[in-house]
Amino acid sequence: MASLAEVFSRYGPAYLDKYGPAVLPSHRRAITDILRCRTPEMGGEVFFCPHCEHTHYVYHSCRNRSCPQCHGQQTEAWLDQRRQELLAVPYFHVVFTVPDALHAAMRSDQTRLYGTLMQAAGQSLIELASDRHYVGGTVGLMAILHTWGRTLAYHPHVHCLVTGGGFDRKTEEWQPGRPDYLVPVKALSKLFRRRFRELLGPTLGTLNIPPSVWQVDWVVNCKPVTGSPERVLKYLAGYVYRIAISDDRILSIDNDRVTFRYQDTRDGQFKIMTLPAEEFIRRFLQHVLPRGFHKVRYYGLWAPGNHLLRQRLQLQLGSGSPAAPTPAEEPETAPPDPAAGPILPITGRICPHCQQPTLVWVGRLAPCKSELRPQPGCDQQPLHQLASSERGPP
């Protein structure tokens, strides 16, 4: 089956050789991690089923946020935590987009300009919403950076989930907004553009930004969330750990070309695109974020410092008592030493061969090192995907 790892395995070395120092460290790391993910190179765990006498190997995940095989469990954990913070109010989905003429500068200085983009979106929306002509209070805002389009084209923009109302700190009361209107988007787009420029401050002169960027309209879209906020929350949750393309969209890798499917935003139909392998890799890597960059940020009522106020508003707005924080997981005990005596079955671990919950942990697999791919003979046993082993031993 075609996969992103296979693309990098076939064409990654040539790509790195061709562009050499021009390839960013974060891009090199992404290629290496994706190639190693859930292979003997990462090491893993060995399990044995006494019922059917089969041995199973589970290899560790790379945990790189650009890897298509990782982060499924993290997405669910993030979604559960955000559900606890929702208020019983209407919500709006706001999208901030920058002009195409700004793309080259953003690509060349991602850490600074991505951060400025998110900060400008949050500040401009909170400032305009606080006007008594619109909301008249501090809104809650969750912002998620998204840099790609359906065909992997470069398209940086920010998705925001915003409360349809705000907290008035003068009166200490909740100010409900209109159900179908948050703020005027034309005024918001102008404020967004101005705030972006102000936040750059003295560093603006060091950036290669065309003067036309400040003359054109910046696009902002705002629409109320239909149905429950859970719908948009799930939509946004996908972007938290989602990458530019998943393995199931890659259809074939032949003759130095990669074919994948995408959904056309104009008519909603699924279509096929074929790119040269080098161009495919280039498009994918331009969406690998700088190391340590936070692509999800919280402003206003959802800022970390407003935790107690948010709990108070949950009670005031009739959403019941605030959900208790998720208890911290108990530290995992070290796997038993097989030499110390009988090994008890691990509860709930199902053997993929006989479907019985009788698997026992046997030991660790040391990483099998190689430059890019595992060397033949590192492990002759097949890999059975028992569970995502992202945190070490079960």
DSSP per-residue string spanning 213-243? GGTSPPPEEEEEPPS-HHHHHHHHHHHHH--
- Nearby residues of 328 by Cβ (< 8 Å), 6 or more positions away: none
Q: Is the pLDDT of residue 247 over 50?
A: yes
| Alpha-carbon distances of 142 from 15, 112, 233, 373, rounded to whole Å | 37, 19, 10, 39
Residue 45: beta bridge partners?
58, 364
Asked if pLDDT for residue 292 goes beyond 50, the answer is yes
CB neighbour list of residue 67: distance below 8 Å, 6 or more residues apart: 30, 33, 34, 37, 61, 243
pLDDT tens per residue, range 336-377: 444 444 444 444 578 888 888 888 888 888 887 654 443 333
Alpha carbons within 13 A on the beta-carbon side of 155: 11
Location of structure tokens 């019983």? 88
Cβ(393)–Cβ(45) under 8 Å?
Answer: yes
Instruction: Give the C-alpha separation, 35 to 29, whole Å.
Output: 10
Among the listed residues 263, 199, 191, 178, the one whose alpha carbon sits nearest the alpha carbon of residue 220: 191
Give pLDDT tens digits for 158-204.
999 999 999 999 999 999 999 899 999 999 999 999 999 999 998 89
| pTM given for the model | 0.81
For residues 371 and 156, the model is more confident at: 156
- 278 forms beta bridges with none
Spatial neighbors of 171 by CB under 8 A, at least 6 apart, are: none
Cα gap 252→273, rounded to integer Å: 11
Classify residue 96 as exposed, middle or buried by CB count within 10 Å of its CB (0-12, 13-18, 19+): buried
pLDDT digits (tens, 9 = 90+) for 19-66: 999 999 999 999 999 999 988 888 888 888 888 888 888 888 888 888
How does residue 328 score in pLDDT terms, banded at 50, 70 and 90?
A: very low
Q: Using an 8 Å Cβ cutoff, are 300 and 169 in contact? A: no
pLDDT in tens, 71-94: 767 777 788 888 888 888 999 999
Residue type (1 letter), 183: V
Find tokens 């500068």 and name the residue. 105
